[in-house]
Amino acid sequence: MVELIRGLEVDTVRANLERVRSEIARTGRDPAEVQLLAAVKYVPVDELGVLAEAGLTLLGENRAQDLVEKAQAYPGRFTWDFIGHLQSRKVRLLLPHVRYIETVASDSALDELRRHGDASTEVLVEVNVAGEAGKSGLAPEELPGFLARSPVRVVGLMTMPPLAAAPEGSRKHFAALRELASRNGLPQLSMGTSQDYIVAVEEGATIVRLGTSLYRPARG
């Protein structure tokens, strides 16, 4: 059973936010250009107030029902993105609560967006840039046709690269996503997690998804 993250402290989260922003600045990027999304899959609903007090406004959840529960518990407090594996039948449930669904990657999801989306609906498409077998996401060559079929506005791309021994191992995958987004005129790039967000930022990430790096006291 996965252990939930409890005992969050405002000062710790706030200090981690400042550290991350400073690290982004050292890459030469303007920290204001990189959105810090707090991944809250393992953060229980009663701890979310700590994140708000620390200054976090953008949260991401992997499970549709949990996102709805958390969003309803803090109405108007946070902006929400859905960042987990997307079951098409959950699109209708998610749309009233999210800014972006970041993991659109199937025609069945497009069908649900056609039924339940509207002119304000914006999504990201998940791309399997490394071609990992069994992993979610479009193949890069499938993207142009998928964009043409989308009934809603696609504003960017998202990827999860293969596990790497060091952050540098993710660079080629982040660069590939950036180039793919550029070719297709898509401004948002959601890539990079606590393990490799600096490399992602160097390669053009506009959204980084952070978990433990925000919640735990910094080492040393």
Q: Is the pLDDT of residue 2 over 80?
A: no
DSSP state of 138: B
- The number of helix segments (H) and strand segments (E) in the chain equals 9, 8
pLDDT beyond 80 at 219: no
Q: Could you report the per-residue pLDDT of 118-148, keeping only the tens digit for each? A: 999 999 999 999 999 989 999 999 999 999 9
**CA pair distance 179, 182, nearest whole angstrom:** 5
The two tokens of residue 20 are: 């991350």
pTM above 0.85, yes or no: yes
**DSSP string for residues in 74-115:** STTT-EEEE-SPPPGGGHHHHTTT-SEEEEE-SHHHHHHHHH
Q: What's residue 3's pLDDT?
A: 84
* pLDDT, position 218: 74
User: In the prediction, which pLDDT does 1 show?
Assistant: 57
Quickly name the fold that domain 10-211 has: TIM Barrel (3.20.20)
Domain chopping of the chain, boundaries: 10-211
* Concatenated DSSP letters of 14-75: HHHHHHHHHHHHHTTS-GGGSEEEEE-TTS-GGGHHHHHHHT--EEEESSHHHHHHHHHHST
Over 70: is that where the pLDDT of 162 sits?
yes
